[in-house]
Structure 1
Amino acid sequence: MKVQIEENLFLESDGLQFIVKEYTGKQDNLGRELYKVHGYFSSVRSVLKHLLKMKIMQSTAQTLSELCQDILRIEQYIESKLTV
């Protein structure tokens, strides 16, 4: 399985676990795509928690109030991607 989360961020699985990978757009000498692994997870729920954490870590909030607003915005963004 290989599911695009956004831009160059993907959720992949290898039969035992879920892997969040960020592709760099570069290739190695053999022509294979290069990527950065953001983590290995046992469930999709844990992947979603990690994505939330990744987005929160990118916050530029200066106050606790701003951080809370960012968290709500990020949760809504992730939820919007999950609705069918």
Structure 2
Amino acid sequence: MKVQIEGNLYLESDDMQFIIKEYNGKKDATGRELYKTHGYFPSVQSAVKHLVKMKVMQSTAQTLSELHQDALRIEQYVESQLTV
């Protein structure tokens, strides 16, 4: 499974786990795409929680109130992308 989250960020899986990978658009000498692994997770839900954490950590908030608002906005955005 390989599902695009947004941009160059993907949720992939193998037989044992789910993996958040960020592709950088480059390839190695053998032609394989290069990527940064953001984590390995036992479930989709845990991967989504980590995605929210990643987004919150990118916040430019200057106060706790702003950070709280950013966290709520990010959680709502991620949830809206998950609903069918």
Which TM-score applies when normalising by structure 1?
A: 0.98
RMSD (Å) for aligned C-alpha atoms: 0.5
Q: What residue in structure 1 maps to residue 76 of structure 2?
A: 76
- Which residues of 2 match residues 1-84 of structure 1 at below 5 A? 1-84=1-84
Q: Show structure 2 runs of 5+ residues with no match.
A: none
**Count of residues in correspondence between the two structures:** 84
Q: Distance in 2 between matches of 1:44 and 1:14?
A: 12
1:83, distance to aligned residue in structure 2 (A): 1.1
1:17, distance to aligned residue in structure 2 (A): 0.3
For residue 29 of structure 1, give the secondary structure of its aligned residue in structure 2.
Answer: coil
For residues 20-43 of structure 1, the C-alpha deviation after alignment (integer angstroms, 9 at most, x for no partner) is 000000000111100000000001
Q: Show structure 1 runs of 5+ residues with no match.
A: none
| 4+ aligned runs moved over 4 Å, structure 1 | none
Which TM-score applies when normalising by structure 2?
A: 0.98
For residues 6-61 of structure 1, the C-alpha deviation after alignment (integer angstroms, 9 at most, x for no partner) is 01000000110000000000000111100000000001111011001000000000
Q: Distance in 2 between matches of 1:64 and 1:34?
A: 36
